[in-house]
Amino acid sequence: MAACAIRRGLLSSASKYNQHKCTHRILSVIDFSSGLDPKRAQPLCSACRLYSFQQTRFMSSRNRPEGKILEPVGVFEALKQHGKYETGQLFLHSVFGYRGIVLFPWHARLYDRDVSPAAATDSKPDSTAHGSKEVKGKMHTYYQVLIDTRDCPHISQRSQTEAVTFLANHDDSRALYAIPGLDYVSHEDILPYNSTEQVPIQHELFERFLLFNPSRNPPFTARDTLRAWQEKNHPWLELSDVHRETTENIRVTVIPFYMGMREAQNSHVYWWRYCIRLENLGNEVVQLRERHWRIFSLSGTLETVRGRGVVGKEPVLSREQPAFQYSSHVSLQAPSGHMWGTFCFERTDGSHFDVRIPPFSLESNKYDKAPPTGYPL
């Protein structure tokens, strides 16, 4: 199995990171089943009791018939506490462990039900709240990224690598199509690094979208094809609202995306994609067993959906594999609506508990543009 030679939990808290000068060569190897979770760090240095990775080389490994081969990947860079990462920034995903590169940033409104209203900075209330708790949003940075295709097989059981989908053109027989290896990553999930390779990420869109420029930092700049693709597909790629809530140490994060409208049987059908991440913030092993959705449409209908697992899986969340991420779709015969619900989890002793899915709105764009263009030529 491919792996990154950095011990789980390289990160200490961001505030402590910049206060320590010592560096450590990373000697141990983890696999992708563990991620790079900073909450489970074991100190490398008895003096500082922290993980510091400034100027530390890290490695990846790959399977060959003769066995596991370690390969140098790059050098870690300091985390950005302020501002954002630029197009072309190489990174490791702190939760799923894959290698990736930033295409461009998005600014989203984060509605966090775990934060008291007084701690939020945005004055806009959460119009999707079906409970008694008023939630205000704060601005947060997310990134559109490419995933290294060499890492996709090793994360596919925990995160869909074809999760970014589009409605097909009207003359296309397929209802949906996907761009493999495209993901959304929050600012705190980025572990930045640099590399001397001109093609450090393997993805069929890498060289179509990015140009190597050694005079810049990071040394990869956006090609005109990337700018054009972003502009044409902006309405279907952009995320505007993120919703998050924790129940009994299980945090659920939801990001809805409007996909467009189609005509069917003399009526309009509006489509959304929603991405959900489940994270186990505790030490107890739990397994997702059922989902229970309530879907309200502006047309006045209220639909209830129950089923086993999600996307055909019943993932186990543990200390070793704390997160699972997937995408799904919903359609309404109205331009807006709401969704909320619960996930039923099972503990190792056989007991069950419900985890709240934060309510979120389904809003269509004010006008529909041409269908997404898909891959650039």
Q: What is the CATH number of the domain that holds 299?
A: 2.60.40.1470
**What confidence score (pLDDT) does residue 6 get?**
35
Share of the chain above pLDDT 90, in %: 60
Counting the structural domains of the chain, the total is: 2
Q: Could you tell me if 191 and 298 lie in one domain?
A: no
Q: Could you tell me if 273 and 291 lie in one domain?
A: yes
pLDDT 10s digits, 161-188: 999 998 876 555 557 888 999 999 999 9
Q: Could you tell me if 187 and 253 lie in one domain?
A: no
Residue 269 lies in a domain: yes
Residue 105 lies in a domain: yes
Q: Band of the pLDDT at 51, cuts 50, 70, 90? A: very low
Q: Could you tell me if 229 and 348 lie in one domain?
A: no
- Domain holding 156, by residue range, is 74-113+137-238
**What confidence score (pLDDT) does residue 84 get?**
95
Residue 20 lies in a domain: no
Q: Could you tell me if 87 and 229 lie in one domain?
A: yes
Q: Band of the pLDDT at 46, cuts 50, 70, 90? A: very low
Q: Could you tell me if 232 and 252 lie in one domain?
A: no
Q: Could you tell me if 94 and 231 lie in one domain?
A: yes
Q: Are 296 and 338 in contact (CB under 8 A)?
A: yes
Domain boundary among 215, 238, 261: 238
Domain boundary among 205, 238, 271: 238
Q: Could you tell me if 308 and 337 lie in one domain?
A: yes
pLDDT at 29 exceeding the cut of 60: no
Residue 43 lies in a domain: no
Residue 45 lies in a domain: no
Mean pLDDT of 148-167: 93
Q: Band of the pLDDT at 291, cuts 50, 70, 90? A: very high
pLDDT 10s digits, 58-112: 555 444 444 555 667 889 999 998 899 999 999 999 999 999 999 999 999 999 9
Q: Could you tell me if 251 and 232 lie in one domain?
A: no
Residue 47 lies in a domain: no
Residue 337 lies in a domain: yes
pLDDT 10s digits, 220-262: 999 999 999 999 988 889 988 999 999 999 999 999 999 988 8
Domain boundary among 238, 267, 287: 238
Q: Could you tell me if 85 and 107 lie in one domain?
A: yes
Q: Could you tell me if 87 and 226 lie in one domain?
A: yes
Is the model more confident about 53 or about 72? 72
pLDDT at 207 exceeding the cut of 50: yes
Q: Could you tell me if 217 and 272 lie in one domain?
A: no
**What confidence score (pLDDT) does residue 266 get?**
82
Residue 42 lies in a domain: no
